[in-house]
Structure 1
Amino acid sequence: MRLLYFAWVKEKVGHAAEDVEVPGDVATVAELIAWLKTRGPEFAHAFERAEVIRAAVDQTHARHDAKIGDAQEIAFFPPVTGG
């Protein structure tokens, strides 16, 4: 699965993208975030306020309870503001 990180999530993780083998018991965006937080201090720091991080599964905005299934790409980014 391809993971993409944007804005301050990218800065805290230290890279913009990576390909990972997600454990079989990770079924939702929230579970993916929880797993990512175990991968090192940079991930724990990037996702410490997971409730504010937005996700897109295969380029479609998704809630944290969304199933990831056979997704090819999941992106993480902070809330977007603007006008």
Structure 2
Amino acid sequence: MELRIKEVCKQKGLKISDLAKRLGISRQALSKRINNNPTIESLSEIAEILKVDPIELIVPSSDYSHFYSGDEWLGIRRK
């Protein structure tokens, strides 16, 4: 599963190191957590901190794309 945590952090004006700090873990531990099949609980915790829906952290298949209106996420839709 490909994730877009770095991209969402950037949209929210947050660095990955800041996200790790808010999670109470090191940047290396965060990297390991998100690169080794993260659990839904991990994604939910990250999403809660970023104030997004957990599905927004996942890269959709090539036929789909995340859609936004300004800063508001509207979901995943067919291209």
TM-score under structure 1 normalisation? Answer: 0.31
Q: Which has the higher contact order (CA 8 A, sep 6+)?
A: 1
The structure richer in strand per residue is: 1
Which structure's CA Rg is the greater one? 2
Choose between structure 1 and 2: higher helix proportion.
2
TM-score (norm 2): 0.32
